[in-house]
Structure 1
């Protein structure tokens, strides 16, 4: 077995019991609710600021105008994906595939280097969950107070506060549903039509669907999503090694645990720095005890680090009993940051990013496709010319009306029957029927290879190959 792998520890599932201040019971039972205690500190500030930044960005992007439409609109119905001045079509979706690959390798690189910081700081499940917990704390009180209230009778005052909490939750959920749907449907029209009851069925369905998912996931399921349903929690161990930065407890320094007076010489008492206050368990959003070792439920949010550092500061001990560290560092060995696996993920990520931008640079501002008339491959017209009929499909991918010129190469003395100059509106797909006529004496073979040329006033040119048939 590779020495870079992290040893597996047999950790019995536990749940924090506030009455005995011990851990017991089945932590994996969804019915055992976790009351998350508020935690303050450096890492929680970083998590809040990062979460608010992404939340505001998520909410604002659909409202940004660009020309006569949204700056970003993934119009699935029209099969047009607008990104500011660029419109992408299904044939350009290799860009989307590359974006997914970049996201995957970015996540692999980040996880190998810093563990599950995506889960702890950037994951929408975490951002919305902590936002819901904030409303819960403001309207119902601290974790201990909520636990005590829920174990007692439901009073009128408590029912009112719980009602306000759920109203706030639903308001956030509906705003989330509108925002998410607004990436696929024009959001200004969606909001107006929704509240005037003029919206179509499917936009309303998706708004309510994502609102219900947000309310259920962030309000009720919370850690159940992370522990039972999220696939990332299951395969993350394949990316971890003993040099991955994780939230870890320094067993050598902390053990033996036990309460003591602040003025007592705990070393003389045979005690470590851990005073067994269990605050690290109470602030954990997934309800684990980090002192039991690395567990896949840990989302690297750093809440236990801030809680423990605060306790160490009050006791006059050095901070860092719980910290972002590595398995090698905890065992007294050197941490190697630049290692083959991390470098491999980083190299793959850079290659994918380069391919993505190269693909963007290669996206044409217009598209042209040519369809031959398959019902009649050729005919002889009244002028004695051999005539072939085509349908040219022109796509304007820009956000401005464009004028295009059409021509053909590969034939001499060709007659063009149809428009050779057309105007195409932004995002429009224009179908242009036309025909080509050629004197039979100018055709040296029964089938000639030709090219249709599309050009605009800005020196953009695109050529599409087709065939001109004289006879079978």
Structure 2
């Protein structure tokens, strides 16, 4: 029998390091950086910002381009209007987004976090405001060490300058956060009405409270918490490792090329000294928004922003060394292998994403902006009229989800010689929900049983919209004819 290897634990071989799970946050002084990947981040971040702030101000057919009208239960997105009955499409969309995230993460790692995540984009704006008001990294470090404006010796001029810079920074933060909060509520309230009601002090307390809430949430998340949102609050950082494999594109430090680290002169023959290409300048650490050292290996705190790549490439260029000491690569490539897309997990995610996208597009293309519901009057099962007809009462609900008013024709299938009273034509405005009380009368001889399936067919005058709904027509039990068993 094979024994499991064991190790004796003694006080002299215990790891004496202590890790505090609730350690106080150390402020990160991020250095500004420029480079190829930072220009790409601008190209991905600006469309998100412009789209977020400008979409509510664009009108399509006389209404806000994107408006989630909760009281009216209508959700206007560009040229389409969705209703609660369309929530199945929302489920499809969320499933597509999830599998798209799985596919992209397996293929390219955390590009979502580094280039398009709103937390990353908004934090970058707040960091720019901080650099504008307080200066670059070294200036901010010195500024934090400046004493307060009032000292035992009297007024401190340096403290006064510090206070002014802090006021400027927080004013910019609060201004941008307020703009974010107002815009977000504008997607639900109507941006023009929101601005007008705010200026005239007629904004309801509920709407004003939500504006304040999202303003403070933006101010705290992007201004104060920053990397803590990505490290501790975002679940994606925790479960991303499930989607990673050895061919996933990640930001990595080439240890075989960089070690041993150490400073040297630009013209020094560092190879003879046993040094690698890494000059240990710590620029990759100083530009990292989450404060990690990428040279320690892949870490869940890395958001894939590639700031360390741009910073390292700039240093390599100044030292006349080849770029790519820190780069986008895969574990297989670092080990001397090659990259391949023929991976079961990647193919599975891609196939599921393709199928769901096609199904969603088909459902959206075949979607009919008309919904009907039929409810039979349960107070009275049926009535026998003087002329021998049987009458049932139904409530027909017609939901016109189209952008235009329609005249609908109602017909009945499954019951011959039936009559609809008071009529079979009804006008329904765009976005209107109309309940119509219908009395259905049919000769008793037309009934095939006491409980008969019928179908209400509702069709627009131009025959573009059509919907149907089933119900039951009740009547007396047919009397068996002579010669037949009951």
TM superposition score normalised by structure 1: 0.92
Alignment of 1:336 with 2:310, yes or no, is: no
Aligned position for 2:468 = 463
Equivalent position of 1:200 in the other structure: 204
2:58 alignment counterpart? 64
Q: Structure 1: how far apart are the matches of 2:261 and 2:69?
A: 59
Q: Show the counterpart of 1:363.
A: 367
Moved more, 319-328 or 443-452: 443-452
Q: Which runs of 5+ in 1 are unaligned?
A: 1-11, 15-24
> How many residue pairs are counted as aligned between the two chains?
451
CA apart distance, 1:311: 0.3
CA distance in 2, matches of 1:67, 1:156: 54
Is the contact between residue 115 and residue 305 of structure 2 (CA under 8 Å) also seen in structure 1?
A: yes
Larger radius of gyration: 2
Q: Which residue matches 2:164?
A: 160
Secondary structure, in 3 states, of the residue corresponding to 1:182? helix
Cα distance, 1:429 vs structure 2: 0.6
Q: Distance in 2 between matches of 1:458 and 1:30?
A: 68
2:36 matched to 1:42? yes
State how 1:21-420 maps to structure 2 within 5 Å. Answer: 29-154=23-148, 155-381=159-385, 383-420=387-424
SS at match of 1:78: coil
Structure 2: distance between partners of 1:158 and 1:316: 40
* Distance in 2 of aligned mates of 1:387 and 1:68: 45
**Cα drift, residue 303 of structure 1:** 0.2
Q: How far did residue 442 of structure 1 move? A: 3.2
Tell me if the contact between 2:146 and 2:162 (Cα under 8 Å) persists in the aligned partners: no
Q: Quick check: 1:403–1:457 contact (8 Å CA) kept in 2? A: yes
* Deviation of the 1:202 alpha carbon: 2.4
Instruction: Give per-residue Cα distances to partners, 1:332-352, cap 9 Å, x unaligned.
Output: 222223311111111111111
Deviating beyond 6 angstroms after TM superposition, the runs of 4 or more aligned structure 1 residues are 25-28
Q: Which residue of 2 aligns with 1:5?
A: none
Q: Is the 8 A contact 1:140 1:146 kept in 2?
A: yes
Instruction: Output the aligned Cα RMSD.
Output: 2.0
- Secondary structure of 2:202's partner? coil
Shift of 1:144: 1.1
Q: Equivalents in 1 of 2:245, 2:94: separation in Å?
A: 24
* Counterpart-to-counterpart distance in 1, 2:22 and 2:340: 34
1:428 positional shift: 1.0
For residues 80-112 of structure 1, what are the alpha-carbon distances to aligned partners after superposition, in whole Å with 9 as ceiling and x for unaligned? 222233322222111111111111111111111
Q: Which residue of 2 aligns with 1:6?
A: none
Which deviations, in whole Å up to 9, do the C-alpha atoms of 1:128-180 show, x marking residues without a partner? 00110001111110011111101221311221121121111111111111222
- The 1:347/1:30 distance shift into structure 2, 3 A limit, reads farther
* 1:22-52 Cα deviation digits (max 9, x unpaired): xxx9898443110110010000111122101
SS of the equivalent of 1:274 reads: coil
Give CA-to-partner distance per residue, 1:366-424, whole Å, 9 cap, x none.
11110110001211345443211111100011111111111212223322212422221
Q: Is the 8 A contact 1:367 1:397 kept in 2?
A: yes
Quote the Cα distance in structure 2 between the aligned partners of 1:28 and 1:350. Answer: 43
Partners of 1:194 and 1:185 in 2: CA distance: 12
- Partners of 2:31 and 2:45 lie apart in 1 by 19
Alpha-carbon distance between aligned partners in 2 of 1:144 and 1:95, rounded to the nearest angstrom = 51
- Aligned partners of 2:426, 2:57: CA distance in 1, in Å? 33
Residues in 1 aligned to 2:136 and 2:382: alpha-carbon distance in whole angstroms: 82
2-structure distance, mates of 1:98, 1:308: 42
Shift of 1:184: 2.1
Is the contact between residue 370 and residue 466 of structure 2 (CA under 8 Å) also seen in structure 1?
no
For 2:25 and 2:444, the matched residues in 1 are separated by: 83
The 2-side partners of 1:41 and 1:28 are apart by 36
Structure with the larger RCO, 1 or 2 (CA within 8 Å, 6+ apart) = 1
**Corresponding residue for residue 9 of structure 1:** none
Question: CA deviation digits over 1:428-469, x for unaligned, max 9?
Answer: 111111211123233342222221111112323222111211
Distance 1:67 1:342 in 2: 42
Q: Is the 8 A contact 1:389 1:434 kept in 2?
A: yes
